[in-house]
Amino acid sequence: MRAAGIYHLAGAAAPAGSVPGIGRRAAQQLARRELSKAIYQPSLAQRFLNWLGRLGVNVNVSVPGGWWALIALIVVVVLVTATVIFRIRPARSHRSGGGALLAGQPLSARDHRQRSERSATAGDFSAAIIERVRAIAVELEQRGVLAPRPGRTADELAAEASRPLPAHASELTAAMRLFDEVMYGGRDGTQDGYQRVRDLDARLQVARPTSSADLLPAGTAGPVP
């Protein structure tokens, strides 16, 4: 109503044939400028309500089932996204690197194997895998295949042990990756994974290093000829 009044007054301000003054076209331009002011525009809240109204009409027309179907679809998308993130988390945790392989009170390889067997018997294959891999690490140090080094990670053990035991390099890498995923990545251990680590432990106990030169700690120079 106010806008119509402005146009009416603008048009009446200079009737045809009147004395020089504001013309009809100029009056219309003034009216447009007046209407463009913020007081004539819908508020932000009103724009949001108008948008919701248009969205509701579009949803009801284009989506079978209307709003309820759209909400159900959003819930499904969120659940699928969460599942994908959860499943890829172990691999991401492994790429970022794990912590030390051995921790706590030092134990012998035999002690770690006994712990592993007890956990496997109880059905806790995550703990069984962790203890069996630790048994491998201690076994290699006790035999002198690797120099004892506190804080050694599973990745480092695989890399260092693969030099004197190249025939078992791929198995060592796989076992150390499994350790990181179970220990630091939140992956549940399985009976199959435990059996693979257990078999590798048995083979490494009788494996012979390729040469004595490979037993030197990293960074140690060999004898000068």
Domain residue ranges in the chain: 2-15+22-40, 44-95, 109-215
Q: What is the DSSP string of 94-148?
A: HHT---BSS-SS---HHHHHHHHHHHHHTT-HHHHHHHHHHHHHHHHHHTTSS--
Report which of residues 86 and 182 the model is more confident about. Answer: 182
Output the CA–CA distances (angstroms, integers) from residue 124 to 42, 110, 116, 190, in the order listed. Answer: 65, 19, 9, 8
Mean pLDDT of the chain: 75
For position 213, what pLDDT does the model report? 44
Please say if the pLDDT value at position 225 is more than 60. no
For position 84, what pLDDT does the model report? 73
For position 128, what pLDDT does the model report? 95
Report which of residues 221 and 195 the model is more confident about. Answer: 195
Q: 138-168, pLDDT tens digit by residue? A: 999 999 999 988 889 999 999 999 999 999 9
Report which of residues 158 and 32 the model is more confident about. Answer: 158
* Residue whose tokens read 């100029």: 26
User: Distance (Å, rounded) from C-alpha 109 to C-alpha 100?
Assistant: 17
Q: 74-131, pLDDT tens digit by residue? A: 787 788 787 777 665 544 444 445 677 777 778 999 999 999 999 999 999 999 999 9
Quick check: pTM over 0.75? no
Report which of residues 71 and 39 the model is more confident about. Answer: 71
Report which of residues 201 and 17 the model is more confident about. Answer: 201
For position 34, what pLDDT does the model report? 66
Other Cβ atoms within 10 Å of 16 Cβ, number: 6
Please say if the pLDDT value at position 202 is more than 60. yes
CB under 8 Å to 24, separation ≥6 — which residues? Answer: 10, 11, 14
For position 42, what pLDDT does the model report? 62
Point out the least confidently predicted range of 34-48, 118-132, 198-212: 34-48
